[in-house]
Structure 1
Amino acid sequence: MRKLFLGFLGALAAVWPALAQPQPFPPEFRMQDIQTPAVTIHTRVGGSGPPVVLLHGYGETGDMWAPLAADLARDHRVIVPDLRGLGLSSKPPGGFDKKTQAGDLAAVLAALGIGGIDLVAHDIGNMVAFQFAAQHPDRVRRLVLIDAPVPGVGPWEEILKNPLLWHFGFGGPDMERLVAGRERIYLDRFWNEFSADPARFGEAARAHYAGLYALPGAMHSGFAQFAAFDQDALDNRAWLATGARLGMPVLAVGGEKSFGATMAEIMRAGATDVREAIVPASGHWIMEENPQATTALVRAFLGGRD
């Protein structure tokens, strides 16, 4: 164990210059590594007021939320974890189904003494957020899901036919060998193809995230997030088959040049109170491409009274 830990520290030191955040969190945010039964979740906490959790997706970490977190911290307690296996969270061998990761979030909230929350998510974070809301509907006041489908919900099978999503089935030991030392090349493909204008995903952010995904176990964990989609679809379909639907207000947000209005179509298959919103002049990477519009949409929705 000591040898493994020292190896992790060595790898971290090697990429440390690339880990300076493109836009740092405000200094009043504290970093806290929260030990759950199976994993350590690196978490940023700041601000005061009603609690709101921000969940990231693949190709990024919780660092993506810095602009939104800074804004919300004016009147919210903001909690921003790294998903298991990604960022500075620990990298277990398994548990990447989103039902299990919803349990990670529950453990983080328990450690912080937090009950009900608003929940904002992007990409794979959507899938974890959906499961958390399904398991704990009484704890989620409002739910925001941004620009990614949820396995097994709505037109999932049609979405899988999109050739741009070939990476959903890309993984395993040989694929890990292919990308080892080439993490930046692999990730550039996502940042370029899924943005309206690749120049908006800047060099500092690319270097930052490539460094984090080069940490030992990070690419394995990323591939495992996708490999769990079949199980995620089974879990979500089993829940929907009971007649259950999310009852809290849901804001389904799509990037104008990405999922767009399809996000609302997806969520109407899994929730009863869905509002539609689109981030203009943006592809998938909403916080890099149009953080001002994204922040305005989220803040307005969280402040609603209905």
Structure 2
Amino acid sequence: MRRLVFGFLGAVVAVWPALAQPQPFPPGFRVQDIQVPAVTIHTRIGGSGPPVVLLHGYGETGDMWGPMAADLARDHQVIVPDLRGLGLSSKPPGGFDKKTQAGDLADVLATLGVDRIDLVAHDIGNMVAFQFAAQHPERVRRLVLIDAPVPGVGPWEEILKNPLLWHFRFGGPDMERLVAGRERIYLDRFWNEFSADPAKFSEAARAHYAELYALPGAMHSGFAQFAAFDQDAIDNRTWLGTGARLQMPLLALGGEKSFGATMAEVMRAASTDVREGIVPASGHWIMEENPQATISLVRTFLEGKD
């Protein structure tokens, strides 16, 4: 069963975020806070060439993609947003369903004047990427989804039964008070349990992300991402119920010690062109545990060499 765990202002500002990153983006990247309806999306942009968007998940932020951004920026324009409510994006009271967040991405791309993209996502980023690809299939050339299920797709109900996914239903009036000031303790549980080797999730990265998730409103936003799963499942099943399927080439990557080949099995329920890939010697946190293999697998797919 452990294999079914994934454990998901329009002005240029300073070159680096306010908090130092464990693995910084290359100096050529700039940071732009982009105002979209109801939220400001903190976005890193660098490189030149065909655009590729990298979407993060829970327990991390767009900072996770530093090594991949450095590699892809050699021949791509790389765009790395923080999801609404997380990282250095603003913390709105709502709008955490993934259909709305796909709209955030569409608005970010419109601001940047970007049309067609390659889209690479991990964890909750998968769910946003799936909705973006469903709403705008003509805008996604190739899609990579890494090590997390998509609500309402494939064996979703069976996945929800796994006791290690208790945090999907963690709620109630006291949940934020329980973790206030204890964000590192809460997050360490995920970083440890969903790693093949917890030591590979460095102390520098843990301290960095814990500080970001301790920002006002961040834990509320994180819980809201999970609370929206029921609506996400409804939205995805409604789309699938029309007979629609994703048509673009899709690479489904699973960590060897996490979702593994199940990632591709899940996505075959919603896509006509799924390629399977495994990140070796890795649990869920692929960019912490085996960034080199992850980058190689993604680049090979984006170059059409799969």
TM-score class, shorter-chain normalisation, is over 0.9
| Structure 2 CA distance for aligned equivalents of residues 18 and 207 of structure 1 | 14
Deviations along 1:174-200, one digit per CA (max 9) or x if unpaired, are 010000000000000000000000000
| Structure 1 CA distance for aligned equivalents of residues 18 and 33 of structure 2 | 21
Does residue 133 of structure 1 match 2:123?
no
Deviations along 1:128-169, one digit per CA (max 9) or x if unpaired, are 000000000000000000000000000000100111000001
AA matched with 2:71: D
Residues 87-236 of structure 1 mapped to structure 2, 5 A cutoff: 87-236=87-236
AA matched with 1:125: G
What is the TM-score of this pair, normalised by structure 2?
Answer: 0.94
The RMSD of aligned alpha carbons is 1.2
More helix, by proportion? 1
Tell me the secondary structure at the aligned position of residue 121 of structure 1.
Answer: strand
AA matched with 1:162: N
1:285 alignment counterpart: 285
- Percent identity (aligned): 89
Tell me the secondary structure at the aligned position of residue 297 of structure 1.
Answer: helix
What is the TM-score of this pair, normalised by structure 1?
Answer: 0.94
| Structure 2 CA distance for aligned equivalents of residues 60 and 53 of structure 1 | 16
| Structure 2 CA distance for aligned equivalents of residues 281 and 49 of structure 1 | 32
Specify every segment of 5 or more residues in structure 2 that has no aligned partner in the other structure, as ranges: 1-16
Pairs aligned (count): 290
AA matched with 1:297: L
Q: Structure 1 segments of 4 or more deviating over 2 A?
A: none
Tell me the secondary structure at the aligned position of residue 19 of structure 1.
Answer: coil
Tell me the secondary structure at the aligned position of residue 173 of structure 1.
Answer: coil
Shift of 1:19: 2.9
2:40 alignment counterpart: 40
CA contact (8 A) 1:84 1:96 kept: yes
Are residues 76 and 133 of structure 1, via their aligned partners in 2, closer, same or farther at CA, if it must alter by over 3 Å?
A: same
Specify every segment of 5 or more residues in structure 1 that has no aligned partner in the other structure, as ranges: 1-16
CA contact (8 A) 1:47 1:76 kept: yes
